[in-house]
Amino acid sequence: MLGRGAISQVQNAGDSETERTVRVADPVGFTYAFGKLEQAIEELVGAGDVKERLKVATMTLAPIFPDDFPAGHLRDEYADIQQALSWLPPEEGSGQGLLESTLEAMTEEEAGALAKSLFSLYTSAAEAVYGRLHGR
């Protein structure tokens, strides 16, 4: 279990240019993952409470897994984000799941930082997808 430290690890992931170079070995799986990531970002940038937007965005991402991303920083960043959203087991009888209990324990600042990390993952993934389409 990573705990709150995962949020700061996610924020610091993928800062160098060499880490941002991606070769997509499984374009079909990655294309699906990227589509779900796009949908999640549409939910994330809407109006309302950041925790609620993060919850809806995360539920959109439920069908994808780190292995759907190419090996390297995209996969690692997505795995870190998933871990940061599911580190606090719910109290017995609360009726909550991992996501709900974790979001409830987060501050608004932590939720905002995690939302920024998710958007950063999207921009890196978009660069990989659209760079590939344009021969970069």
> What is the reported pLDDT for 50?
95
Please say if the pLDDT value at position 119 is more than 80: yes
- In eight-state DSSP terms, residue 96 is -
d(CA 127, CA 131): 5
> What is the reported pLDDT for 23?
47
In contact, 10 and 84? CB cutoff 8 Å: yes
CA dihedral 31, 32, 38, 40 (to 10 degrees): -150
Type of residue at 17? E
Q: Give, to the nearest 10 degrees, the angle between helix 108-133 and helix 5-12.
A: 30
Q: Give, to the nearest 10 degrees, the angle between helix 73-84 and helix 108-133.
A: 160
pTM above 0.95, yes or no: no
- In eight-state DSSP terms, residue 125 is H
Q: With CA atoms as reference, report the closest residue to 69 among 87, 82, 86.
A: 82
d(CA 76, CA 14): 9
pLDDT tens, residue by residue, 40-99: 999 999 899 999 999 999 999 999 999 999 999 999 999 999 999 998 988 898 888 999
> What is the reported pLDDT for 6?
46
The average pLDDT across 94-114 equals 93
Please say if the pLDDT value at position 19 is more than 60: no
d(CA 16, CA 20): 7
> What is the reported pLDDT for 18?
34
> What is the reported pLDDT for 126?
94
> What is the reported pLDDT for 135?
57
